[in-house]
Amino acid sequence: MRKFIFLFVVVSLISVAKPVSAQSLLNVREFGAVGDGQTDDTVAFQKALDAAATSDSQVVYVPRGNYRFAGSLNIPNGVTLKGVWESVPSHIGIRNKGQVKPTEDGTTFLVTGGRGQIDAPPFLTLNSNSTLKGICIYYPDQQEDDVPTEYPWTIAMRGKNPAILDCELLNPYRAIDASQNERHLIRNISGQPLRLGVYVDSIYDIGRIENVHFNPWWSMKPKLFRWQMENGEAFVFGRSDWQYVHNTFCFGYNIGYRFIETKNSVCNGNFFGIGADDCYTAVVVDQSAPMGLLITNGEFVSFHGPEPTMVRVGNKNRGTIRFSNCAFWGPCCQVAVVEGSGTIGFSDCTFVQWGFKDKEGGKPNEKERLEMSAIRVLGGNLILRGCEFQDKMPQVFLGEHVRKAIVTENLIRGDVRIENNAGEKQNIIIQNNASDN
């Protein structure tokens, strides 16, 4: 009898957990979508999405094709919009001598709506438990050799648990608005957002960003790329309670990671394995939470811009920033310039190649180089412990408004060159640093 009951339960579970077959998905072609790169498929897609909200599968499948959109889409609660790719698609082949290629590029969305209307509705809005997966989004009217045209947000994440997975956002003006939601998931995303990559704000339950890489895959032509480096920001964080960010990267922006104060407050969170290459400033902290920004195993490089610097902390910052086991190199002007009344900490970090100007600014003279300490702290508190300074250049400058500092147990190439203008106070501790001399 027990064997019979066990077999009955197993068979029942198998029948309930049957995988969703291709036949049970709602195919956008059945709702009138054409995918020829010319026909506006906005209405057909919205019909399919609305139908999925009340269907058994709740998945809208988008087969291979180039789908053009002059309007915007709203993905209802619990609905998934899914393309052919199960992993992030390659950017190669989207353009061929300036022309959009045919359907062999997979599931590609060609967005034309909202041109020049930055405050228009987003192209696509995700709601509670809705998902976008396996899609490449491309703006065919954006010029690859000119100042970019403004468009509204490509994707807005709202509600609870919205998700973007395995997508390429090839050349959006502003890519992902991850604000006003709970527990967003942004995973396996690549592309070249031109003005802003990911914006996070009003997050009161943990948000997750994983494996997001922004590179100039679409265009490095001088006029556009220079504009991007002078104006672009890859990741911007406002209010977020325990944001988790893992394995993210950006190349060629004015600012790689920026932390700001909005009307909703500021960010605290865990940032692990993040990187920024060839950004004027890799990390900018205008404001942070008192419980801290924890940045671990990061890699940061700056060598272009007026004063290429990896870390800048603003004069209004009151919070805490900690860098652990991170690497900083250039050739840059300075590794970090710190103001404000908060605390910054560097532990087990590596500093290489500072004391240089931007290539267009010429070489600094000896006096200028001597003033370019790797870590320049003008206010607040500093903890600098167990780090390695690999150049024979000044290591630390402490300004007169520094309140407390601990600079201990660092490895220094050449002489110890730490300038202390904060005075011989008991709360300034400089000791046990190992140098060549």
| Chain segment 391-410, per-residue pLDDT in tens | 999 999 999 999 999 999 99
Q: Does pLDDT of 95 surpass 60?
A: no
pLDDT value of position 93: 45
* 3-class secondary-structure state, position 145: coil
Q: Does pLDDT of 364 surpass 70?
A: no
- In whole angstroms, what is the distance from residue 157 CA to residue 180 CA? 7
pLDDT value of position 89: 79
CATH topology of domain 22-231: Pectate Lyase C-like (2.160.20)
Structure tokens given for 230: 């002078």
pLDDT value of position 17: 44
More confident residue, 5 or 419: 419
CA angle at residue 413 from 407 to 416, to 5 degrees?
A: 45
- In whole angstroms, what is the distance from residue 163 CA to residue 147 CA? 31
Amino acid in position 190: S
Q: Does pLDDT of 110 surpass 70?
A: yes
Min mean pLDDT across 13-27, 133-147, 306-320 is at 13-27
400 exposure class (CB count in 10 Å sphere: 0-12, 13-18, 19+): exposed
pLDDT value of position 31: 97
- C-alpha to C-alpha distances, 166 to 48, 133, 162, nearest whole angstrom: 21, 6, 14
Sorted by sequence, the CB contacts under 8 Å of residue 224 that are 6+ apart come out as 143, 144, 145, 146, 147, 148, 194
Q: Does pLDDT of 62 surpass 70?
A: yes
Q: Which of 310, 258, 324, 309 is nearest to 288 (CA)?
A: 258
- Residues pairing with 396 in the sheet: 375, 418
CA 358 from centroid of its chain's CA atoms: 24
DSSP 289: -
Query: pLDDT tens for residues 302-323?
Result: 999 989 999 999 999 999 999 9
pLDDT value of position 5: 47
Query: pLDDT tens for residues 245-292?
Result: 999 999 999 999 999 999 999 999 999 999 999 999 999 999 999 999
Backbone angles phi, psi at 225, to 5 degrees: -70, -35
- In whole angstroms, what is the distance from residue 155 CA to residue 175 CA? 6
- pTM (two decimals): 0.92
Summary mean pLDDT of the chain: 90
